[in-house]
């Protein structure tokens, strides 16, 4: 395509673009955004390291601080991510590094992830990621059918003509996988109270 100009100024073409805190990629993938969100989480972590690394602070309190100040920075915008396994793995590894620092452990100590999570009261980030995505899906499903945000939601996936090779994972397919994994019907999304119970992920 030709150059795009705005008020006579040529707009430089880039493969990534940052918009409202999210990184958009030309190819529609989310690798850069995931890396950016993990970096944002570590920035918050460093800002609070004086508290989080203080042995006098109860570990449950550290866990609460993580849930309310650090994890939201990591999962900002994640409700719209078409998440692949490698993205979930990256998020999980980053989270466990943070949590082990809280507890004063390294992987060499051979303390299981589940033990650390239970000790500080933090559910796996992959479950919270799914919860974010399903909460957004429930919000979308409750919008009137004519709302622009409803166009094509969970309708196009089955009819997509796929080219050769592995196709791009879409948000719709991510949600379908979530609904199947959690054994939730689309109809539940229309009942706000039932939906809240269905997607709730209790912290340990």
pLDDT (0 to 100) of residue 156: 42
pTM: 0.75
Q: Provide the 8-state DSSP code for 90.
A: H
Burial of 142 (0-12, 13-18, 19+ CB in 10 A): middle
Least confident segment among 15-24, 33-42, 134-143: 15-24
**DSSP states of 36-88:** HHHHHHHHHHHHTHHHHT-TTS-HHHHHHHIIIIIHHHHSTTGGG----HHHH
Mean pLDDT of 159-181: 71
Would you say residue 139 has pLDDT above 60? Answer: yes
Mean pLDDT of 167-184: 83
């Amino acid at each position: 395509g030709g150059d795009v100009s705005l008020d006579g100024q040529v707009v430089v073409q880039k493969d990534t673009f940052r918009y409202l805190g999210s990184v958009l990629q030309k190819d529609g993938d989310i690798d850069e955004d995931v890396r950016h969100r993990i970096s944002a989480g570590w920035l918050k972590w460093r800002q609070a390291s004086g508290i989080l690394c203080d042995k006098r602070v109860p570990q449950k309190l550290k866990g609460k601080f993580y849930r309310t100040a650090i994890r939201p920075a990591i999962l900002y915008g994640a409700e719209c991510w078409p998440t692949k396994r490698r993205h979930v793995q990256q998020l999980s590894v980053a989270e466990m590094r943070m949590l082990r620092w809280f507890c004063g452990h390294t992987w060499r100590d051979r303390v299981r992830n589940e033990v650390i999570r239970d000790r500080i009261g933090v559910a796996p980030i992959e479950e919270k990621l799914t919860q974010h995505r399903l909460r957004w899906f429930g919000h979308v499903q409750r919008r009137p059918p004519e709302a622009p945000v409803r166009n094509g939601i969970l309708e196009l996936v089955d009819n997509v003509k796929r080219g050769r090779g592995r196709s791009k994972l879409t948000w719709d397919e991510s949600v379908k996988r979530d609904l199947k994994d959690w054994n939730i019907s689309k109809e539940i999304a229309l009942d706000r109270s039932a939906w809240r119970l269905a997607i709730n992920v209790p912290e340990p």
